[in-house]
């Protein structure tokens, strides 16, 4: 027998999501998800698909015809990029400065390619001279890099220069923009990126399940000219183009409700304006960083290459980082996360993305974090941190804490 009372109506706890993702979902996006389901080949849904593609082009800053939401999480969009673009025997340069660069290399390996690493310290950007040397030595078919590294809080600078170097070497360029799309400056066409993929649950503040991907003409030509079919049927873009292209022929049942959600999230981006949205993330996350530093905590990434949508801050000596994060969740309903890979146990990762990038959330987090650290025996100046953040938020700060 099933204990029916145990399975009462769903009532998840109310959280403030300030971790590396997902971020808080806007109420309008939640409402869009509650609208009636229609068929994935219904003419009304086909129109919605057109709208989503147009809104994605706006957000990616691209005119690429091939701009679609992949049915799956951000890792599905990542895998779609590599399994379509990389053929067995291809050389792929994967300069990496964090956890998700390593995931890129693993996907290249599973696609049959030969990933060539170019390592940089976790917390520093890629060294372009190291990349240049590797390009000359290996002559890769593809170069792949992480624009916004979620594990370290580092935003890769000098992207147009990196892309130009790769193109001069005859390589196509793939960019991981999972934690940058809709939150920090990203110019797919302006920077010459051949492929960029992302996720909905970060700066777009959308539930995961329909993940943005854009490909330029050179990338699509390479995919169409493959010597052998790619190993994944589900993510085969040469098949998906018949569904997302002009034919609109059946391939698989799209995650209709997730597409609704992505459309509304992208409408919010367009209403705010992409450049204004970048500015909001920088202002609100800048207040968060100022508050943390003034409180006495040390950001891991230097300001010169800091990723506004994801701040890594060093865990003070003698403090149990996991215990603090757990107390924040249980006692204050605020989610942050610990480090990954080389930074496990070294940093907290604090997101300031999309609908979560609001003054009230920043102030609530700083107040709670300062209080928990102090109660754990750490030394922090909580009042000074709150004052520094509030000053950065003026005149937008309302004085209310959620």
If you write DSSP's letter for every residue of 157-182 in order, what string do you get?
Answer: P-HHHHHHHHHHTT-EEEEE-TTTTT
- For 364, phi then psi, to 5°, come to -65, -40
Read off the CATH number of the domain in which 239 is found: 3.40.640.10
What's the token pair of residue 401?
């804490």
Nearest to 182 by CA among 363, 396, 355, 358: 355
Domain that residue 90 falls in: 27-271
Instruction: Based on the fold, state whether residues 51 and 97 are members of the same structural domain.
Output: yes
Number of domains in the chain: 2
**Do 150 and 46 reside in the same domain of the chain?**
yes
Query: Pairing mode, if any, of strands 347-351 and 337-338?
Result: antiparallel
Q: In whole angstroms, what is the distance from residue 213 CA to residue 209 CA? A: 13
Task: Tell me, yes or no, whether 16 lies in a domain.
Answer: no
- What pLDDT is attached to residue 401? 40
Cβ neighbours of residue 179 under 8 Å, at least 6 residues apart? Answer: 20, 21, 148, 149, 150, 202, 203, 307, 309, 310, 353
In a domain, 401, yes or no: no
pLDDT, mean of each 10-residue run, the chain (402 residues)? 79 96 97 97 96 98 97 97 97 96 96 96 97 98 98 98 98 98 98 98 97 98 93 93 89 96 98 98 98 98 97 98 98 98 96 98 98 97 97 69 38
**Residue 69 domain flag:** yes
Q: State the Cα–Cα distance between residues 245 and 49, nearest whole angstrom.
A: 10
Q: Are residues 53 and 182 in the same domain?
A: yes
Which pLDDT does position 7 carry in this prediction?
A: 84
> In whole angstroms, what is the distance from residue 352 CA to residue 387 CA?
19
Residue with tokens 């980082």: 321
* Shared-domain flag, residues 296 and 257: no
pTM: 0.95
Residue 8 covered by a domain: no
374 and 330 together in one domain? yes
Residue pair 351/309 in contact by the 8 Å Cβ criterion: yes
Are 261 and 282 found together in one domain?
no
If asked whether residues 311 and 240 sit together in one domain, one would say no
Same domain, 76 and 200: yes
pLDDT at 246: 87
Longest dimension (CA), the chain: 67
CATH (domain of 318) = 3.90.1150.10
Domain boundary among 209, 243, 271: 271
| Rounded Cα–Cα distance for residues 184 and 284 (Å) | 12
Do 251 and 333 fall within a single domain?
A: no
> Do residues 221 and 278 share a domain?
no
pLDDT at 400: 44
Instruction: Tell me, yes or no, whether 177 and 262 share the same domain.
Output: yes
User: What is the pLDDT at residue 396?
Assistant: 53
- The pLDDT value given to residue 402: 37
């Amino acid at each position: 027998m099933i204990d029916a009372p145990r399975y009462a109506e769903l009532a998840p706890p109310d959280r403030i999501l300030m971790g590396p993702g997902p971020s808080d979902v806007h109420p309008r996006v939640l409402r869009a998800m509650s609208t009636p389901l229609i068929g994935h080949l219904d003419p009304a849904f086909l129109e919605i698909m057109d709208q989503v593609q147009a809104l994605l082009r706006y957000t990616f800053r691209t005119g690429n015809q091939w701009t679609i939401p992949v049915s799956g999480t951000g890792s599905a969009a990542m895998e779609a990029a590599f399994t379509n673009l990389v053929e067995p025997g291809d050389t792929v340069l994967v300069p990496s400065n964090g956890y998700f660069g390593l995931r890129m290399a693993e996907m290249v390996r599973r696609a049959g390619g030969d990933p060539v690493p170019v390592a940089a310290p976790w917390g520093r950007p890629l060294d372009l001279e190291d990349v240049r040397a590797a390009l000359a030595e290996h002559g890769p078919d593809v170069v792949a890099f992480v624009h916004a590294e979620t594990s370290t809080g580092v935003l890769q600078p000098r992207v147009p220069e990196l892309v130009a170097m790769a193109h001069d070497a005859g390589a196509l360029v793939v960019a991981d923009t999972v934690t940058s799309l809709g939150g920090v400056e990203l110019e797919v066409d302006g920077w010459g990126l051949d492929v960029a993929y992302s996720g909905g649950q970060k700066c777009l503040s959308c539930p995961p399940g329909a993940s943005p991907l854009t490909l330029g003409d050179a990338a699509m030509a390479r995919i169409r000219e493959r010597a052998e079919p790619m190993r994944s049927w589900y993510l085969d873009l040469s098949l998906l183009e018949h569904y997302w292209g002009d034919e609109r022929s059946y391939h698989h049942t799209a995650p209709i409700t997730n597409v609704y959600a992505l459309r509304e999230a992208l409408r919010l981006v367009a209403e705010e304006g992409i450049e204004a949205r970048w500015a909001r993330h920088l202002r609100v996350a800048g207040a968060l960083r100022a508050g943390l530093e003034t409180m006495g905590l040390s950001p891991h990434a230097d300001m010169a290459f800091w990723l506004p949508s994801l701040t890594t801050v060093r865990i003070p000596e003698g403090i149990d980082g996991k215990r603090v994060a757990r107390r924040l969740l249980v006692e204050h309903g605020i989610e942050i996360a610990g480090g990954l890979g080389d930074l496990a146990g070294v940093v907290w990762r604090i997101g300031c993305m999309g609908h979560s990038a609001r003054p009230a959330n920043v102030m609530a987090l700083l107040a709670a974090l300062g209080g928990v650290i102090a109660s754990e025996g750490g030394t922090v100046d909580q009042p000074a941190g709150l004052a520094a953040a509030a000053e950065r938020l003026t005149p937008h700060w309302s004085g209310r804490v959620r």
